[in-house]
Structure 1
């Protein structure tokens, strides 16, 4: 599945699942552009990815900022290479019961998790259409498929990403631009750590989640890199508009 002349954009590519995806795509021969709100934290990932002999650039930006996304994509196309793969991985949430939240929190969750992918699709996909080829892999969540208490707005956004991906897959199929969604289950990431916190209660919450997973463990970032690499490859050339759960069997739907 080597792609030595192709370029990938990975949003949120500096940490967690995004880091694992960045490193896997680099090993597969892609030049990688990391779009990350925390560019300093992404530098370690970029350094490790460059050891695979590819070029890696970091763009410090908020995916909710359309102008910043447009400028970064233009720079990638001009200086790193034609974008073959877009991975929309950046995400954020602050769990709380919906009736205890306010519209400022809703707006932030929506901006990052839904508006962000809209911005990147609008900036990247015209180039793919013009070249008659490309792959978009959107990282959603199994929360979108079954709903999750304390994550109502986040779940709504990820459900929107699934529906948007299917619609775009239909619109762009004739241009050989294939779009699919990957839905992780509970995963050991910095975001999960910030949600769970520390101490005895955090351990109890984590143990409860693990008991609901048939494989009896939390996901690790590396569990998702392989399916993303596959969907980006020629082997997935007849797959589009699909939603794939990678959750240890937690949700078999």
Structure 2
């Protein structure tokens, strides 16, 4: 099935920059939904062969059918499976993530460990595997979809905040080591994005606090944001595309914050 730029266009109002990834391969984790899916579709529209990786088979197979790319089913917390994966890619986008909300004294240690495995150690292992090929060709793009929680903290999200802060540091080290080899490494840091993960958080908090989902959104999640709306997945995907573009060739070791002003306070 052929895939053209008109297929599965981004949300209304999101303008796409000039980006040609023809002949390039992009490995996108968490590609089954949300930001990962939007990113996979965006890079495919730019001409990349997308290797869509997710734990949910149906989602990545449907995405591969749309893009003409490859579906790869993998649980990133399973390091044996990660080690068996061919990590070769010109563009690596670490996007997969999970969340668990609880006070530290009630936070299950096994869940803390699982979140760090998926969101920090797996990205390290994938970057470690992809860099030799990038170095050999003198070009590569590592993009880590972090979060405003990579630069700020929130109560009850100890594992998520720790993982994202660690990912920010890892990304900077990759930038320093990769610069001499034509490889850039950057983070994209969204605030609350309209994804299934956030939808579930809204529902959970509404139930826990006995308030409406509209109140959770306006009075809790967006209380500190200047722009009182969720970020759209396509907006984040466009920032990923930007750091892969020629315009951003000198940008490395930095973070593009897309949080509606959440971190400005």
Say yes or no: TM over 0.5: yes
Partner of 2:45: 27
Partner of 1:80: none
Partner of 2:140: 134
Q: How does 1:65-214 map to 2 (within 5 A)?
A: 65-73=78-86, 77=88, 83-197=89-203, 200-208=211-219, 209-214=221-226
Provide structure 1 residue ranges, at least 5 long, that are not aligned to the other structure.
Answer: 78-82
User: In the alignment, is the contact (CA less than 8 A) between 1:181 and 1:244 conserved in 2?
Assistant: yes
Q: 3-state DSSP class of the match of 1:92?
A: coil
Q: Distance in 1 between matches of 2:182 and 2:70?
A: 27
Q: Distance in 2 between matches of 1:168 and 1:2?
A: 24
Give the deviation of 1:178 after TM superposition.
0.5
The alignment of Structure 1 onto Structure 2 pairs a total of residues equal to 241
Q: 3-state DSSP class of the match of 2:99?
A: coil
Residue by residue over 1:21-42, the C-alpha shift from the partner in whole angstroms, topping out at 9 and shown as x without a partner, is 0111011111100111112122
- Aligned alpha-carbon RMSD (Å): 1.6
Q: Distance in 2 between matches of 1:139 and 1:206?
A: 22
Partner of 2:16: none
User: In the alignment, is the contact (CA less than 8 A) between 1:15 and 1:45 conserved in 2?
Assistant: no
Give the deviation of 1:162 after TM superposition.
0.3
Give the deviation of 1:118 after TM superposition.
1.1
User: In the alignment, is the contact (CA less than 8 A) between 1:169 and 1:178 conserved in 2?
Assistant: yes
Q: 3-state DSSP class of the match of 1:179?
A: strand
CA separation of 1:73 and 1:252: change in aligned 2, threshold 3 A: farther
Q: 3-state DSSP class of the match of 2:86?
A: helix
Partner of 1:229: 241
Provide structure 2 residue ranges, at least 5 long, that are not aligned to the other structure.
Answer: 1-18
In structure 2, which of residues 58, 66, 75 is the aligned counterpart of residue 62 of structure 1? Answer: 75
Q: Distance in 2 between matches of 1:45 and 1:214?
A: 34
